Every structure is written in structure tokens, then in C-alpha cells.
Amino acid sequence: MLVLGGGFAGVESAIQLRKYGYNVSLVSNRDFLFVYPISIWVPTQKIKFEDVQIPLKTLSRKHGFTLIVDEVKQIDQQNNRVILGRETVDYDFLFIALGMDKVYTKGLEFTHSICGKPAEALVIQEKLQKLVEKGHGKIAIGFGGNPNDPTATGVRGGPAFELLFNISHFLKGKGVRQNFELKFFAPMKEPGKKMGDKPYKKLDIFFKRYKVTPFVGKKIKEFTPNSVVFEDDSHIESDLTIFISGGDGHRVIKESSLPVNPAGFVSINELCRVEGQKNIYAIGDVAAIEGPTWASKQGHIAEVMASVSAYNVHQELSDKGKRKSYWEKLHIICVMDSGDGAAFISRTNHKETIIPLPILGHWLKKAWGFYYKQSKLKRIPRIPGM
């Protein structure tokens, strides 16, 4: 079994496939799993960059899969092989978990993202620190979408809000909050609405509490070194622009002949099997998620897809009829942290929930980070369904 990608989806599928007793090789161009949900604390120095990583070498030793740190260049499904930077690897079953690329906006290079390359979190930390030392500044944080695939925007607004509120709290702690302008921008009219009507309505309260000025509903024309320019040529000034771009299909997938949706995400069925392919599964952010209009790419969905696909392959190889569908498990869950508290948000077909958790919520998210890392490293038992 060959797994491409060492993020939430890839690692979980390798773990599950090993539990069923298969030989597994995992390819990743990074030698660590990056726990994105807790990376929001790197810019405000609440967590060390190293503590957001789990070494893949340790995971491969603990779970018994073979690790190949290399770049995936091409998927050659006609010949059941994948071409890497240094070698070519054959497979019987392939699990694609390469994550996604970003939608390009003019001047993107003048922005920083918490959802891109892990090291960007450190760049934001350094720039923020410089502004604190200067004693004043303008910070703009926003997110965009992908009109070709609404699931690629989704709750990615969440990290933007988390960063805004965490940075506000951080600046307050440094005694300079009053010297900073914090601005939020997004092209959609109702950013954050995917989390549900209730959480969306509460956002205004958060903006007021953390003194954030919103600029929403205008398309972004371009970024400059010190501004965000909108379609009507109005702009906001910024010394530090953090922008979470909409997700786009992965380059390797776009260059392959695998079936994709208009945004370049791999088309799969409810078993996570790639359309028209017998032995290829696509899981996590790389896959086109089908579901309700609010469905979103999320870490826990990536894990659900990993476990569903591993189960389905095992059932097939064991000649058993039962299969699992990821559709049944589609829901949104997130703990939106603000540095001094958090809000628990969940959305299913039947229910929307938002529970404000002052102080406790922040520690809940920290506890989740601890649980995620330690349970993956087999240092503590896993809680079923988590």
C-alpha cells in the first residue's frame, strides 16, 4: 500500500492500514506532520514551532510503516506507479493525501499565510514582534474563497478569526493594543456563514470585543507591500497582511489524468475511491468533497476519510461485502480560539451549535493538541471517534 502525503489524512490512513496488517510506505516532502490547528499560536509565541510538529520518523517507527521523504512528481496510474524526485515506487493500492494548493491573487507574495508552508508561521511571528518593538502598526487579516469549490473556503475563515483575536489579545498583553489597527477583510458578503447562522451572528460581538474593523463583500483586486486593494480601487493600509487564500487543486493532481472537479480536487465516490479507478483512493483536502452546501475541508474529515478508505480496501481484500461512506460523518466541528477563551462550534444537517467557553475553551484546544500528538505517538490511548 502506498500513501502520498504525511498530513492528517496520510498519517491516519497509514496507521489504519498498519492496524489491518498491510505493508505500508508513506511519501512526504516534509519529514514531520504539521498540526495546523495549533499553529495559530506560533505568531503570538504561545507555542514553539517545534511543538506543532510530529516527526514522521517517530510515527513510522511506532506504527511500523516505511517512510520515504521525497517529492511526488507524477502519478502514473496506467502503470500503477508514482514518480518521486529520487525514485519510482510501484503500488497495489494508492492513497492520495497531498493536501491542496492556493488560489492566486495578484500580489500574493506581499502577504503571509498561516495555512501554507509551515515556516510562514515563524515569518508572521517575526514580523509581528518587529511591529510590537516599533510600538504601533496596522495589521490586516483576511481570507478568500474558490468559486469553483466552496468546500475549499469553508471553515478556513476560522484560522483567520483565531489569528485576529489572538493577536489582539497578544498586543493587549504587551500594553500596545491601543496603538494598533486590526482589520478583517473577505470578499464574500457573509464570511464565516458556513459555520452556521448562529456562529455567524456572534462574529460581530467578537469583532467589537477585540476591536477589529471588518471590510467585507468586496473582491480583492491585488495586494501591495503595504495595502489590500479592492475591486472598486478602495484600499486598506497594512504593515502586515495575513491572507488565507482559497484552496485550489494540488499541482500534481492537475497535471495528472485523474478525474477532478472544476477546482482541480480529485473526484471520489462516497467510499473515497477515485471515480473510474479500482485501486486509488483520495482523502483529505486533496479530494472533492460532496455534501451539504456548508461542507468543508477539515482535519477531522481528513481523518474520517482516511479510516473509511482503509476500511473499505480491507473489506474488499477480505472478500467482505460491507462498506463505509464518509458522507455519513460530514459535519463541522471546531474550537475557535481567541487566546483568552474560545467558542465551540458544530454544525450537522439538523443542528447548529455555538457554545462560548471563556478561558476554559482556550485550554480545551490546548488539551486537544496534546491529545492529538500523544495519541498519534501511542503514548496515550485513543478515544474512539477522535
x-or-dash string of contact with ligand FAD, 70-109, rule CB under 6 A: -xx------------------------xxx----------
How far, in Å, CA of 386 to CA of 12, rounded?
11
- The site for ligand FAD, by CB under 6 A, has a size of 33
Options 1, 3, 10, 151; binder of ligand FAD; rule CB under 6 A: 10
Nearest distance, CB of residue 209 and ligand FAD, angstroms: 20
Number of C-beta neighbours around residue 69 at 10 A: 17
- At closest approach, how far in Å is the CB of 228 from ligand FAD? 20
Stretch that binds ligand FAD, among 131-139, 254-262, 267-275, 280-288 (CB under 6 A): 280-288
- When the beta carbons of 230 and 283 are compared against ligand FAD, the nearer one is 283
DSSP string, 133-186: HHT-EEEEEEE---TT-GGGTGGGHHHHHHHHHHHHHHHHHTT-GGGEEEEEEE
The Cα–Cα gap between 144 and 166 comes to: 20
C-alpha cell belonging to residue 212: 477589529
Q: Which of 54, 236 has the CB closer to ligand FAD?
A: 54
- 5 versus 191: smaller Cβ distance to ligand FAD: 5
Stretch that binds ligand FAD, among 60-68, 213-221, 262-270, 283-291 (CB under 6 A): 283-291
Min dist. Cβ of residue 59 to ligand FAD (A): 11
Closest CB to ligand FAD: residue number: 7
Q: Which of residues 295-324 bind ligand FAD (CB under 6 A)?
A: 297-300, 302
Q: Which residues of 94-107 are buried (b: 16+ CB within 10 A; e: fewer)?
A: bbbbbbbbbbebeb
Strand order in the sheet with 341-347: 332-337, 341-347, 352-358
The partner residues of 282 in beta bridges, in order of sequence, read 96
Rounded to whole angstroms, how far apart are CA atoms 27 and 354?
A: 38
Distance CA 308, CA 324 (A): 6
How many beta carbons lie within 10 A of that of residue 365, not counting itself?
23
* Mask for 232-271, x = binds ligand FAD (CB under 6 A): --------------------x-------------------
Distances (CA, A) of 51 to 59, 271, 376: 15, 34, 14
Residue with smaller CB distance to ligand FAD, 9 or 313: 9
Query: Distance (Å, rounded) from C-alpha 270 to C-alpha 281?
Result: 11
Cell (9 digits) for 180: 494598533
Query: Could you give the count of Cα atoms lying within 13 Å of 6 in the half-sphere of its Cβ?
Result: 27
Nearer to ligand FAD, 230 or 334 (CB): 334
State the binding string over 156-185 for ligand FAD (x if CB under 6 A, else -): --xx--------------------------
DSSP-assigned states of every residue in 333-379: EEEEE-SSEEEEEEE-SS-EEEEEEETHHHHHHHHHHHHHHHHHTTS
Give the nearer residue to ligand FAD in terms of CB position, either 230 or 373. Answer: 373
- Choose, by CB under 6 A, the member of 1, 2, 3, 8 that binds ligand FAD: 8
Q: Which of 3, 236, 310, 334 binds ligand FAD (CB under 6 A)?
A: 334
Nearer to ligand FAD, 107 or 158 (CB): 158
Cα 199 to Cα 332: distance, rounded to the nearest angstrom: 12
Rounded CA separation 181/189 (Å)? 22
* Contact with ligand FAD (CB under 6 A) among 24, 47, 115, 212: 115
Which 12-71 residues touch ligand FAD, going by CB under 6 A?
A: 27-30, 36-37, 39-40, 71
Q: Which is nearer to ligand FAD, 235 or 251 (CB)?
A: 251
Contacts to ligand FAD by CB under 6 A: 5-10, 27-30, 36-37, 39-40, 71-72, 97-99, 114-115, 158-159, 252, 284-286, 297-300, 302, 334
